[in-house]
Amino acid sequence: MIARASPEVGLRDRKKAAARETLERVAKELFHERGFGAVTVDDIAAAANVSRRTFFRYFPTKEDAFFGRRAAQLEALNALLAAPRPRELPFRAVRRALVALSEQHVAAREEILREHRVLAASPELLARDLEWDRRALAVLTAALARGGGEGRRARLAAGAIVGALRVVIEDWIDGGATGDLRASGEEALDLLEGLAPPRRG
């Protein structure tokens, strides 16, 4: 018999998600208005009408509140790569996942443009931004190595993909996020496909 979550548990989870989203939205509004360095956790908590303790229940640091979208994006990438299609080559699974994420980017273009303005003015955030690239590198490396390919080649291919997509996204942002992000991303992936390790066996 399959256990089912009680309505109370479902409601509690929805309330937590809503509280987290509110804190993230308020934090980003303050960062955009004042600059990241000029905003404290106390400022965010006060603007969201919650306690400092409540803020830390959802985010370990104010940087984590800024990178909430990146965290969700990495989670989505993990989920997409965890469910490859039958007989799908590792690179094709990666490509499909990244194309799906490009559509999420386009849907969030205004939020991304605002984030970029805050990010560009904050050395603290720029350093943390690179950490998200390293996490994506690890996820992509694991996905590309699933076919039994050589681990170093998988890592090199994943690094090339992360670097190329950063260029694609930066160009898209510099153009006001009006270009065809999916087409640009697919063009970059076309150039990189040959780097992926071949499936063994």
CATH of the domain at 26: 1.10.10.60
Do both 18 and 80 map to the same domain? no
Q: How far apart are CA 97 and CA 137, in angstroms?
A: 14
Residues 199, 90 contacting (CB under 8 angstroms): yes
Of 102, 91, 100, give the one whose Cα is nearest residue 190.
91
- Count how many Cα atoms sit within 13 Å of the Cα of residue 138 in the half-sphere of its side chain: 7
Q: What is the pLDDT of residue 200?
A: 59
Question: For every one of its 201 residues, what pLDDT tens digit does the chain have, with 9 covering 90 and above?
Answer: 344 545 665 778 888 899 999 999 999 999 999 999 999 999 999 999 999 999 999 999 999 999 999 999 999 999 999 988 888 899 999 999 999 999 999 999 999 999 999 999 999 999 999 999 999 999 999 999 986 667 889 999 999 999 999 999 999 999 999 999 999 999 999 999 888 877 655
Residues 40 and 82 in one domain: no
User: Is residue 123 located within the same domain as residue 178?
Assistant: yes
Burial zone of 126 (CB within 10 Å; 0-12 exposed, 13-18 middle, 19+ buried): exposed
Is the CB of residue 165 less than 8 Å from the CB of residue 98? yes
Domain count, the chain: 2
Q: Is 125 domain-assigned? A: yes
Task: Indicate if 44 and 126 belong to the same structural domain.
Answer: no
Please name the amino acid found at residue 73.
Q
Q: How far apart are CA 164 and CA 189, in angstroms?
A: 8
Residue 99 lies in a domain: yes
Within a domain: 201:
no
Question: Do 104 and 83 share a structural domain?
Answer: yes
Please state, in angstroms and rounded to a whole number, the distance separating the CA atoms of residues 157 and 93: 14
**In this structure, are 74 and 157 located in the same domain?**
yes
Residue type, 157: A
Q: Which of 47, 62, 77 is the last residue of a domain?
A: 62
**What are 113's two structure tokens?**
């443009």
We report the CATH number of the domain holding residue 88 as 1.10.357.10
Domain housing 127 = 67-195
From the list 24, 32, 35, 161, the residue with the least C-alpha distance to 99 is 161
Integer-rounded Cα Rg, in Å, for the chain is: 19
Nearest Cα residue to 32 out of 20, 53, 47: 47
Residue that is written with structure tokens 């309505």 in the block: 7
pTM of the model: 0.86
Same domain, 28 and 74: no
**Residue 37 DSSP class:** G
d(CA 172, CA 140): 22
Residues 31, 129 share a domain: no
If asked whether residues 55 and 73 sit together in one domain, one would say: no
Q: Are residues 51 and 71 in the same domain?
A: no
Do 31 and 76 reside in the same domain of the chain?
no
Distance CA 166, CA 198 (A): 25
CA distance 163 to 153: 15
Query: What's residue 177's pLDDT?
Result: 94
Same domain as 36, residue 110: no
